[in-house]
Structure 1
Amino acid sequence: MTAPLLTPTLLHQDTEKPTLILGPSLGTGSLALWGPSVPALSGHFQLLAWDLPGHGASAPSTGGFTVAELAGAVVAMLEALETDGVIVAGRPLFYAGVSIGGATGLQLGHDYPSLFAGISIVCSSAKFATPEFWNDRADLVATAGTPTMVTGSAERWFAPGFIEKNPVPATDLLHNLQDADRFSYAHACRALGGYDLSNKLGAVTAPVLAIAGAHDVVSPPEHAHAIAEGVADGRAVIIDSVAHLAPAEDPAATSALLIDFFTSIPIKEATHG
């Protein structure tokens, strides 16, 4: 295994505000996924997003990695940003991630319990499918490329009618998938195959908001409820209008939930460094 290097994207800079770290879904870049939610979120947070290896701004991975190593790479990224003054030590840090970005958020809560004052797990799970499923997908994409995933992802990612009503953001996200590095995508698939926090959720002590889409077949609402019930301090909310990419599908509803959740956390709990 090789620890990946992650490239952050500063979506909104304001060091006087708490920093919210935004995590990606498999096959998407952070700008296309989280961009629609930036106008609302930027009124309350400095916004920093990260991209998976071989996606968006991040360089391709040079070897396989685990979700735990992704979490460690996020921590290394944050330490570098603190050194550069982008993140101010002692200011609150929050995290929200979608799909594999949500899994990384749970892993961060498990492995680094004092790092984030609050964590939102968006359209994600404590365990995804089976290792065999993910290994088969990894083999297919490594051989034939990410375009093989476009048709199926278009069906899974979006609630019925979204693509027809919102062709530009939907096309941007599907282009992200088509342009992703095939081997990095395959490495991420294998990471998901080895990921399972379903029996370790009690070790996550930061407040957790699990958001699910009513139309999500990848991480259905019952997965959000399981996360909320398993962590020390959690609750689940379902957005009726979305499937698997909530920040892009319904940015208003997603942003409102995140703002309400993070701003309700007492600031004295929000320390790091």
Structure 2
Amino acid sequence: MRIAVRAFNDNSGSPVLVFGSALGTRMTLWSSVAARLADDFQIYVADLPGHTVPGPDTLAEATPAVTIDELASGLVESMVAEGVTSFAYCGVSISGAIGLTLARNHPEVLTGLIACATAEKFGTPESWDERIGEVQASGTRGLVDDTADRWFAAGFLGEDIATGHIVLADLALVDDEAYIATASALRTYDLTGALTSITTPTLFMAGAQDPGCTPEAMEAMAGQVDGSRFVTVPDSAHLLMVEHPDIVVDHIQEFCGGL
């Protein structure tokens, strides 16, 4: 399985940094952060299968069900096709899970890992069956209101910052079958107690008001990875890179400067 990867800039010779997005979002999720880092890194942004603005690589045309292990391997294949055999990876939510899996299964490709707002396990198989049922009944459009409350801290969307509304529009427009097929990966994903094997330099980054991937849970994850760092982004929820790109950039630069 290949994952859609696009070069954000042309800065060959600089350290490579790859960004991965959350379920139901597109590459644009990382635009504000990537733009601020474009002078220092060669940046690539990856879409989850079927999440790219319509093209031939939708998940519905490839595999009806997928695992996080397959997504991690697919990212490695896609980067090799770009001529990149090692890179730092920064993923949020499901893509944070992809990053943790890369660190466990493909440590030779990673120079560093930034795991944002992620978890060892997301919900239960039953909760994912319920989410999938909602999408089957009402499409991803039916998820927007509840998702907005999880993704953004209280008051953020009312500040008339366009990026948050663009991200929610992407959720509403993502192909339903692609969302369902990718969500199935989280139904079976479980790294509980398995992070102690990670040797890649790792930064865990949490949103202070994230109701799902709480700072407390992420700090406990960091405690399992020798030498890892943990930071919290204030006044943010799950999509901290949308709410506070400057703070996220500062943490990325400081972390990658030590690699």
Shared fold, TM over 0.5: yes
Q: Conserved in 2, the CA contact under 8 Å of 1:135 and 1:189?
A: no
Which of these residues, 156, 165, 173, is aligned with residue 171 of structure 1? 165
The two structures, once aligned, show a CA RMSD in angstroms of: 1.4
2:70 aligns with 69
Letter in 1 for 2:13: E
Distance between the aligned counterparts of 1:166 and 1:56, measured in 2? 26
1:41 aligns with 37
Are 1:207 and 2:210 an aligned pair?
no
Are 1:27 and 2:24 an aligned pair?
yes
TM-score by length of 1: 0.89
2:49 aligns with 53
Alpha-carbon distance, 1:114 to partner: 1.6
Letter in 1 for 2:45: A
Letter in 1 for 2:20: G
Alpha-carbon distance, 1:162 to partner: 1.0
Distance between the aligned counterparts of 1:194 and 1:233, measured in 2? 28
Runs of 4+ in 1 over 4 A off after TM superposition: none
1:81 aligns with 82
Letter in 2 for 1:74: L
Distance between the aligned counterparts of 2:209 and 2:52, measured in 1? 26
TM-score by length of 2: 0.94
Alpha-carbon distance, 1:248 to partner: 1.2
Correspondence 1:1-273 to 2 at 5 A:
3=1, 5-31=2-28, 33-57=29-53, 59-62=57-60, 63-82=64-83, 87=84, 93-265=87-259
Distance between the aligned counterparts of 1:69 and 1:191, measured in 2? 9
Distance between the aligned counterparts of 1:29 and 1:197, measured in 2? 25
Distance between the aligned counterparts of 2:9 and 2:129, measured in 1? 37
Letter in 2 for 1:28: T
Q: Which moved more, 1:94-103 or 1:181-190?
A: 181-190
Letter in 2 for 1:67: I
Distance between the aligned counterparts of 1:68 and 1:173, measured in 2? 26
Unaligned ranges ≥5, structure 1: 266-273
The 3-state SS of whatever aligns with 2:108 is coil
1:271 aligns with none
Deviation by residue 1:191-223 (Cα, 9 ceiling, x = unmatched)? 111111122101111011000001101211122
> Across the two proteins, how many residue pairs are aligned to each other?
254
Distance between the aligned counterparts of 1:77 and 1:13, measured in 2? 18
Distance between the aligned counterparts of 2:241 and 2:148, measured in 1? 16
The 3-state SS of whatever aligns with 1:230 is coil
Deviation by residue 1:16-39 (Cα, 9 ceiling, x = unmatched)? 1101010001111112x1001123
